Chains A and B, each alone.
Chain A
Amino acid sequence: ETGVTQTPRHLVMGMTNKKSLKCEQHLGHNAMYWYKQSAKKPLELMFVYNFKEQTENNSVPSRFSPECPNSSHLFLHLHTLQPEDSALYLCASSQGTGNYEQYFGPGTRLTVT
């Protein structure tokens, strides 16, 4: 595997479910990011981790809970989501938060019913 991978690619969940999104980067980067892309909206930054430490939480509701056990793995735990949370969730990584070139995974298409 190379680059940034995300699983699952598609997820349908009910509002009472608990699920997790997984991201893994094989680039030796130190920073990882979660973005949300909703229809007709810009990419919205959710969380930033640098060397496993969270450095940015962009006013994300607590029903989204990130976890970064090491510099290569990033999770987004989902709990009691709302239908408006349906979106494409993208993970990205970069050498550091000061490095501008972020490498994106293919995303997880989430549908909340």
Chain B
Amino acid sequence: DQQVKQNSPSLSVQEGRISILNCDYTNSMFDYFLWYKKYPAEGPTFLISISSIKDKNEDGRFTVFLNKSAKHLSLHIVPSQPGDSAVYFCAAIRNSGNTPLVFGKGTRLSVIA
């Protein structure tokens, strides 16, 4: 049973517009969430994270929103750039920190110039 779900396998967005990537989780014990970005032929790289005590975290063009009651988080990229085209993985963990990260299947974002 998947605990972290990314239901959209792919997303296409025009350059300059907003990209919204969604992630749902089922385990209410998760309290720290991360987004990773992966280019072809490279490993995933950490992008942004959020603790469950917050509902928003912003870093430049990237903002992550967390809705704990809905067990939903989203990554907003504004404005989207062609270099943002990659696979984005959502991951979650329990605050004990000694349990492994649980990843979603990823969403492939294509930013069209």
User: Is this pair of chains taken from one and the same complex?
Assistant: yes
Chain A contact residues, majority secondary structure = loop
- How many angstroms between the C-alpha atoms of A100 and B4 in the bound complex? 16
Q: Is the CB of B41 within 8 A of A45?
A: no
The number of A-B residue pairs with CB atoms under 8 Å apart is: 60
Q: Is the CB of A100 within 8 A of B43?
A: no
> What is the size category of the interface that chain B forms with chain A?
20 to 34
Tell me if B88 counts as interface (CB < 8 A to partner A): no
Q: Is the CB of B98 within 8 A of A97?
A: yes
Which residues of chain A (12-40) have a CB below 8 Å from chain B? 33, 40
Closest to B6 in A: A42
Most buried by A among B32, B43, B98, B101: B43
B28 to chain A, nearest CB (A): 18
Q: Is the CB of B42 within 8 A of A101?
A: no
Chain A residues contacting B36 (CB-CB under 8 Å) are 104
Tell me if B25 counts as interface (CB < 8 A to partner A): no
B96 to chain A, nearest CB (A): 8
- How many angstroms between the C-alpha atoms of A42 and B9 in the bound complex? 11
Asked whether A104 and B97 contact (CB < 8 A) given A40-B105, A42-B105, A43-B103, the answer is no
B58 to chain A, nearest CB (A): 18
Which residues of chain B (29-76) have a CB below 8 Å from chain A? 32, 34, 36, 41-46, 49
Tell me if B21 counts as interface (CB < 8 A to partner A): no
Q: Is the CB of B105 within 8 A of A41?
A: yes
Closest to A101 in B: B46
Closest to B5 in A: A42
A1 to chain B, nearest CB (A): 14
Residues of B within 8 A of A (CB): 2, 4, 9, 32, 34, 36, 41-46, 49, 89, 93, 96-98, 100-106
